[in-house]
Every structure is written in C-alpha cells, then in structure tokens.
Amino acid sequence: MQNLNTYVLAIESSCDDTSCAILCNNTVLSNITANQKIHEKYGGVVPELASRDHQKNIVPVLQEALKVANITLEQLNAVAVTVGPGLMGSLLVGLSFAKSLALALNIPLVGVNHMQGHILAHFIIDDKDHECPQFPFLCLTVSGGHTQLVKITDHLCFEILGSTIDDAVGEAFDKAAKILGLPYPGGPLIDKYAKEGDRSKFKFSTSHVPGYNYSFSGIKTSFLYFVQNNVQKNPDFVKENLNDICASYQHHLIEVLLKNTKNLIKETGIKHLAIAGGVSANSELRKQVKALETELNIKTFIPKFEYCTDNAAMIGITGYYKFLKKEFSGLDIIPQTRMSL
Ligand code: KG4
Ligand code: ZN
C-alpha cells in the first residue's frame, strides 16, 4: 500500500535563529530553535557571528528535532530549506546542509521563501479546531526586515499590495529600544514595558507615503530627537518615563500599520485578515487586530506565538505545499539575500 504521509524536514537559518522542524503533512511533529544570545550585547545581529553559531547549532538542532518527532532520516520524503531573503552567510549554512542531506538521502530539495513561510504558518494544523484563512485573504507581514501588505489567492500565489520604502517596523521597534538602552531584540521589551504605560502621553511624527506603502525611517529619527531633547533637559527622563515612552511609541507604530490595513480591507472588500512575522507576537497589535473583527465585520487570524518569530515549522508547511506541486529545487540553487514573494 502507498504511504500517504509525507514527512518533510525543514531548515531555517536566514538570520540569527537556527531551527529545524519535522512535519507530517500539515502537522508539526517537532520544531526546535536555537536562539543566538551572542548578538544581545551588540545591539543587533552581527552576520559573521550568526553564521558561525549556525555552524555550531545545526547538527544538534537537527538531532533534537528528529528525536522529538521520533523519526529517522530514512523516513523523510523531502528537505525544505530557506533560500532567502536573509543574511548570505547564515543562509549558506542552512542551504549547504540541506543540499548534502537531500543528496545523501536521495530525496527532493525544496527551496522556500522565508516571507512566504511567515504567511503559510497559518496553514499548520496543530489542533482539530484550527481554522485557516480562506482565499483570497490579506496578510500584514511584520518582521525585523520586512513590512508588507499581501493578497494571497492560493497557497503559493502572493501579490504585494504595499510595503515599506525604507525600514521595517521590527527595525523601528529594535532601534528605538537601542536608543532607550535596552538589549537586542528590543521589540519584546517595548511590548513588556508598554503594558504598564500611558499610550497617549507622547506623540510622534508620521511620514506620508503614497498607496498602501509604509515608511518607518522618519518615525525612528523623530524618536531619536525626542529622546535626545528630553534627556538634555532631564538626564533621568528615560528612567522616569520608560513605560509611557514605550506605550506611546508602540501605539503610534500600530496606528500607522493598521491605517493602511483598514483602508485596504475597505477598498478590496476582502473579509479575512491575517498577521504574520516576529512583530505579530506584539500583544497590543494582536489585541487591536482582533478588535477589527467587530469594527470592520471581518475575520482575523493571529498566529500562535511559536509561529510568529523565525521558526522552521513555517518553512516546513511551505515546503509541503511546494512538494505537493512538485516544485523542487536543483542542487545548484544559491542563497538570495533579497527575494521577492
Ligand atoms: O520574523 P522575525 O523573527 O525575523 C525576521 O524575519 O526579521 O522578526 C523579528 C522581529 C524583531 O524586530 C523583534 O524585535 C520583533 O520581531 N518582535 C517584536 C515582538 N517579538 C518580536 N516586536 C514587537 N513586539 C513583540 N512582542
Ligand atoms: Zn522572519
């Protein structure tokens, strides 16, 4: 009898997280991630150090993923791996490793776009009550390197309707945190302090860009001047106002993100909205997106925390859909630091 189950090993190493997952069809059997702590003290990811840590982590992370899934290498049907976008050295570690595994096991290699992975994480079926968005749906993808409004018409059909013309919203979080003296990545810390703060205490500037595009570079600069000016007057300004600064700044970023999103929903009439990427872990963004259900009479899809920030499970689900369509990659495939959807 034919084996109907497809076992996909997925590898993600595009930035500073080394992750391996095993999927059986669209369910996750294991999803193991080694986070690199080394970048904290530098206030951002140091590419050379990230590649070296991936080299150290990749074998133990794979072994753990196999152990948790209770699967042997011989049972795998395909190896899915992030091809881009991301850091060249980091991508090279995962891609070279995936190529050698696919070659040694004589199974297909499936190259995956990391940003497609963030979106398709919504199609991982971890429990029987899980609901997937229905096509066509919109996704606000918000990560450390990207901010995109995407229309998805099929598992592998994406159309970008808006994106940032400069910094990503994740960078706007992380750089502001650095200005406040917080370690990298600062997004989760701003989220934490904002919970105790007054979001209407301080106001920040907005950059106007045409269409459904975004710009966060000016907001980040205005934040820098805001802190510098206030610290000049009161050296303890940050310490005394940390919660209110975080709450006000976070509120501003979310307002900017949701303004275009709401306009796009009204314009397209699309009733299903998902969020994806590291910043979709933000508690206030999750709350405000959920509130759009009643405000706009739509249905929203908010990922589980483990599928917000970088993880191999999202690469696995994308690899699974590509596997079904026999979209395999040759062993001559190379990493792409920039890659369109
Ligand atoms: O998707 P991701 O893990 O990596 C990229 O593909 O870039 O996103 C990382 C970004 C970082 O900027 C991090 O600060 C942000 O996601 N992030 C958050 C939160 N958790 C992670 N930003 C705001 N609030 C959070 N709770
Ligand atoms: Zn990511």
Q: What is the pLDDT of residues 308-318, one digit of tens each?
A: 999 999 999 99
Do the domains 7-126+308-324 and 137-303 sit in the same CATH topology, yes or no? yes
Q: What is the pLDDT of residue 331?
A: 97
CA of 180 to the centre of ligand 1 (A): 17
- Residue 27: count other Cβ atoms within 10 Å of its Cβ: 17
For position 163, what pLDDT does the model report? 98
Pocket test for ligand 1, best of 15, 275, 309, 315 (most atoms within 8 A of CB): 309
- Our CA dihedral for 58, 63, 69, 71, rounded to 10 degrees, sits at 120
CB 188 near ligand 1, within 6 Å: yes
Q: Which ligand is nearest to the CA of 309?
A: 1
The closest alpha carbon to 322, from 161, 137, 136, 111, belongs to 111
Report d(CA 4, CA 148) in Å as an integer.
Answer: 36
Candidates 248, 105, 104; CA nearest to 176 is: 248
Amino acid, single-letter form, for residue 188: P
Pairing mode of beta strands 7-12, 299-301: unpaired
Q: What's the pLDDT band for 38 if we cut at 50, 70, 90? A: confident
* The pLDDT of residue 138 is above 70: yes
3-state helix, strand, coil in the chain (%, to 5): 50, 20, 35
> Which residue type sits at 340?
S
Q: How many helices (H) and strands (E) does the chain have?
A: 9, 10
One-letter amino acid of 239 = K
Categorize the per-residue pLDDT at 4 as very low, low, confident or very high, splitting at 50, 70 and 90: confident
pLDDT score, position 3: 61
Q: Is the CB of 87 under 6 A from ligand 1?
A: no
Q: What is the model's pLDDT at position 207?
A: 86
Residue found by looking up tokens 């968005």 in the block: 133
The pair phi, psi for residue 40, each rounded to 5°, is -50, -50
Average pLDDT value for residue range 318-334: 98
Using the atom order of ligand 1, give the atom closest to the CA of residue 184: 14
CB of 278 closer than 6 angstroms to any ligand 1 atom: yes
Residue with tokens 């499970």: 313
Q: Report how far ligand 1's centroid is from the alpha carbon of 15 (Å).
A: 12
Residues 6+ apart with CB under 8 A from 216: 147, 164, 166, 167, 168, 169, 171, 172, 207, 253, 256
Domain 137-303 falls in which CATH fold?
A: Nucleotidyltransferase; domain 5 (3.30.420)
Report the alpha-carbon distance of residue 283 to residue 304 in Å, rounded.
12
* Residues 139-161, mean pLDDT to the nearest whole number: 98
Beta carbon of 86 within 6 Å of any ligand 1 atom? no
**What is the third-level CATH fold of 7-126+308-324?**
Nucleotidyltransferase; domain 5 (3.30.420)
Q: Report the mean per-residue pLDDT for the chain.
A: 97
Q: Where are the domains of the chain?
A: 7-126+308-324, 137-303
